[in-house]
Structure 1
Amino acid sequence: MSGHSHWATTHRAKGVNDAKRAAIFTKFGRLVTIAARDGGGDPDMNFKLRLAIDRARSVNMPKDRIEHAIKVGTGELKDAAAVEEVLYEAYGPGQVALLIEGMTDNKNRAVGEVKTILTKNGGKFVPSGSVSFMFKRAGIIVFPADRYSAEALETEAIESGADDFKAEGDVLLIITKPEDLQAVRAHFEGKQMTPESAELGYLPTQTVSLQGDDLAKFEKLKELLEDNQDVQIVWDNLA
């Protein structure tokens, strides 16, 4: 898994009930809003916004909701509260390291709920810097394994200047340096190879293994965290 299981959330999101779909749209709307706030409302000039829009589209978020989120970010529309990015560090069952990325309009609520979920499910909230050294920032481009040849993608990864290529379950991953993500993605698109998603994330530099009850407890904890309204992605160092 090595921190990548969150990509399954995109696939699951297309078949969830209306209540859960609304919560997912809220999360991706915040992603779009912050990207537009930080770099402007034109995705051709703001790569972070382009990535956010692509991720919103991947869960079938309606066009009008995406446009609304952009306008909130640029200040054309006023929202009830400002959205802020947060990053929490924690340990899960079996000493799995967790980086919890979030976006929230209420930091006190967010940290309180995350701490409660951790405490009730065998996890522990830890100070900043306690686990982040076990991860590296990276660009991650995801292709569906049923649509693209692993051999062809690996060849293009080498030509594009990407750092690494990995096959993980039903996805194929191209790993880049953060500053190379835009250029590497453009290389693949120039070859008519369209990724399912592309994002900046955290990959583990050291991993741990879990089995049996510890693995089941960890999977439950991660699901509960990712279902929280203020949590965007949970990265882990599970092997």
Structure 2
Amino acid sequence: MGRQWLHAKRAIVNLKKGQTVGKIVKEITVAAKLGGADQAANARLHAAVEKAKKQSVTRDVIERAIKKGAGIGDDKLVLEHIVFEGYAPHKVPLIVEVMTDNHQRTAPEMRQLFKKGILGAAGSNKFLFEHVGIVEAHHPDTASDLEAAGIEAGANEFEPLSHAQNDDIPEGVAGARFLTDRTAVHAASVWLKQNGWTVITAEIGYVAKSYPELDDTARAEVGEFLQAIEDNDDVQRVWAAVK
């Protein structure tokens, strides 16, 4: 029985890793579609490619994904960007961003996933979030001056970010999240990279204006709900009012 469980556990781990790699490759494609194939001018693409390299995605796969997204060559991308709004259990607001090649498939899947929550109409809860630029990065110097970096990078807000909050941040280094105007994401990312920071996320997203109080049981239920949504192949981002 123990050996059978070991094989099952390995299969689950491999499946999760495959899903993660698939999402990263899709993120490269989407980033190239939205911002072009030049990593130097597309902070989101650069961050996605760096994540892919950490997952040992081959150069050929990365290049194909970039070309597909940017419309270079014969294999062009046809994806629709859809935003779903609603609530997780315990009235936690969330926004789900989807990139899909088949709306007729994705919409029923989202309705099914939201059965334990509430799927709202378009515009039903965006007012509960700030639509901003988000740059997450880390610096090898734990004594790095976060406030000075935030000001120089042009961020409106900044906060420390740990490995526990984002596992792309190594333990024992200084991690941070910088919030910018939507038009300032690239400039902030460039400044940080030029000044010793490793950028792991650079995108436009949603940050909740307030967060409901949750006990441990409620937090676990919300986490399970959000994980089920994130596991959907078409889901690119889940923004939720939960810390």
TM-score interval w.r.t. the shorter chain?
0.7 to 0.9
Residue type of the alignment partner of 2:107: V
Residue type of the alignment partner of 1:76: G
Cα deviations by residue, 1:170-225 (Å, 9 ceiling, x for unpaired): 34211111111111122222212222332222111122121143222101001111
Deviates more, 1:154-163 or 1:43-52: 43-52
TM-score by length of 1: 0.81
The one of 214, 225, 229 equivalent to 1:225 is: 229
Match of 2:125 in 1: 131
Of the two structures, which has the highest relative contact order with CA contacts closer than 8 Å and spacing of 6 or more?
1
Consecutive unaligned residues of structure 2, counting only runs of 5 or more, are: 1-11, 164-174
Q: Offset of 1:48 from its aligned partner?
A: 4.4
Please report the RMSD computed on the Cα atoms of aligned residues, expressed in angstroms.
Answer: 2.3
Q: Offset of 1:236 from its aligned partner?
A: 0.7
Residue type of the alignment partner of 1:203: V
Q: 1:56 to 1:90 in 2, by over 3 A?
A: farther
- 1: CA distance, partners of 2:222 / 2:154: 35
- 2: CA distance, partners of 1:156 / 1:139: 16
Match of 1:67 in 2: 63
TM-score by length of 2: 0.80
Residue type of the alignment partner of 2:73: E
SS at match of 1:17: helix
Q: 1:150 to 1:226 in 2, by over 3 A?
A: farther
Q: Offset of 1:70 from its aligned partner?
A: 1.5
The one of 180, 196, 200 equivalent to 2:204 is: 200
Q: Offset of 1:47 from its aligned partner?
A: 4.3
- 2: CA distance, partners of 1:150 / 1:88: 40
Alignment of structure 1 residues 102-117 onto 2, 5 Å: 102-117=98-113
Match of 2:142 in 1: 149
Q: Is the 8 A contact 2:44 2:201 kept in 1?
A: no
Q: Offset of 1:17 from its aligned partner?
A: 3.1
SS at match of 2:110: helix
- 2: CA distance, partners of 1:162 / 1:208: 26
The one of 137, 158, 164 equivalent to 2:157 is: 164
Q: Offset of 1:101 from its aligned partner?
A: 1.2
Q: Is the 8 A contact 2:150 2:158 kept in 1?
A: yes
Q: Is the 8 A contact 1:51 1:199 kept in 2?
A: no
- 1: CA distance, partners of 2:41 / 2:195: 22
Residue type of the alignment partner of 1:107: H
Match of 1:5 in 2: none
Q: 1:46 to 1:221 in 2, by over 3 A?
A: same
Q: Is the 8 A contact 1:137 1:201 kept in 2?
A: yes
Deviates more, 1:160-169 or 1:202-211: 160-169
- 2: CA distance, partners of 1:110 / 1:135: 24
Consecutive unaligned residues of structure 1, counting only runs of 5 or more, are: 1-15
Cα deviations by residue, 1:64-106 (Å, 9 ceiling, x for unpaired): 2111111222141426x72222211110111100101121221
- 1: CA distance, partners of 2:85 / 2:113: 13
Q: Is the 8 A contact 1:141 1:197 kept in 2?
A: yes
- 2: CA distance, partners of 1:196 / 1:58: 11
SS at match of 1:229: coil
**Kindly, what percent of the aligned residue pairs are identical?**
29
Match of 1:237 in 2: 241
Residue-pair matches, total: 220
Alignment of structure 1 residues 47-126 onto 2, 5 Å: 47-73=43-69, 74-78=71-75, 82-119=78-115, 122-126=116-120
- 1: CA distance, partners of 2:135 / 2:125: 24
